[in-house]
Amino acid sequence: MTSWNKEIEDLRQIINQFEVKDASSLEAFRIAFLGTKGKLKDVMQLMKEVPNEEKKIFGQAVNELKSFTESLFENYKTNLGTSSNPKSLNIDFWATATKQNLGVRHPISLVRNEIIQIFSKIGFVVAEGPEIEDDWHNFTALNTPKDHPARDMQDTFFLTEDKEFLLRTHTSSAQIRAMEHQNLPLRILTPGRVFRNETISARAHCTFHQVEGLYIDEGVSFADLKQCIYYFAKEMFGSENVRFRPSFFPFTEPSAEIDISCFICNQKGCNVCKKSGWVEIGGSGMVDPNVLKNCKLDSNKYSGFAFGMGIERIAMLKYQINDIRLFWQNDIRFLNQFKAAF
């Protein structure tokens, strides 16, 4: 028997006699014989000392020993995995990682991002403001002085007794900040969360999201406003079935409510559209000259339009959701329906 043949046989006996009882001894077996610094590697180093005429036989013997060791290792691992001994550590260290369920974006975020993307194609950029506002930016600068009856249109969450600070009731306050500090022409979107002290129902909530648009330049007209809304409706819903109803807002004149045909009931009448076949998605109008003057802009030179939309209302139409409260309940069954959206 050659010297290398004896070393291989001795190692085979050592491998056979190695006792594997649990996961830790199994790992020790792997390191000792199959690891990068294991004994099989040491035996392979003998190749350079083996005569050329014996190298082929030596290689076959080493490969056979390696296959034997790997097979023994797999048997040990299988037996440990199926062992009925409660004291054994039943862990498969070589199993693939557990598949994790990925989260999905909330439908409000999906619709908000889509609205921003649509208006960005026609030059609107995002401008943001604080959720805690002062009276000037939320009311007074928007042509709503302290004694103005229009303040009663919005049930406000005031934070101080003097009613100087409050949770903003609309994102129009961010528009005032933009007009105060940005150069003209101005074409901005102000998405964000707003707060009103309203009774929670299937159609209304005390916390909701708005996206408002503002365009100020020379020669802006109501026709520009209408074309902007028609474009949005076509991009968002695939339909221009929109109507403008005369209305009143203290910061726009003339003013109009924006309605779109109810896709939930196909205009047959449901709780969301109050059986009318139309759903109000926001308000709009030409910026009142007094608002421009409050922001130190020349109302004789510049004009503009503004609009505001409820993101929840648009999401309800787009995804045919009949209860606004579902957006706030964190029901995983509801949220999982939007896994395919991105």
Please state the domain extents for the chain.
3-81, 108-338
Query: Whole-prediction pTM value?
Result: 0.67
Give pLDDT, residue 153.
63
In this structure, the number of other CB atoms found within 10 A of the CB of residue 31 comes to 12
CATH code for the part of the protein at 108-338: 3.30.930.10
83-91 mean pLDDT: 53
* Residues 52-72: tens digit of each pLDDT: 888 788 788 888 888 888 888
Give pLDDT, residue 340.
63
157-173 mean pLDDT: 92
* Residues 173-225: tens digit of each pLDDT: 999 999 999 999 999 999 999 999 888 887 788 899 999 999 999 999 999 99
112-121 mean pLDDT: 96
Task: Report the chain's mean pLDDT, rounded to a whole number.
Answer: 86
117-139 mean pLDDT: 95
**Of the candidate ranges 104-113, 139-148, 166-175, 213-222, the one whose mean pLDDT is the lowest:** 139-148
* Residues 227-272: tens digit of each pLDDT: 999 999 999 988 778 999 999 999 999 999 999 888 778 778 887 7
Question: For residues 108 and 79, which has the higher predicted lDDT (pLDDT)?
Answer: 108
Q: Flag whether pLDDT at 82 surpasses 60.
A: no
95-106 mean pLDDT: 75
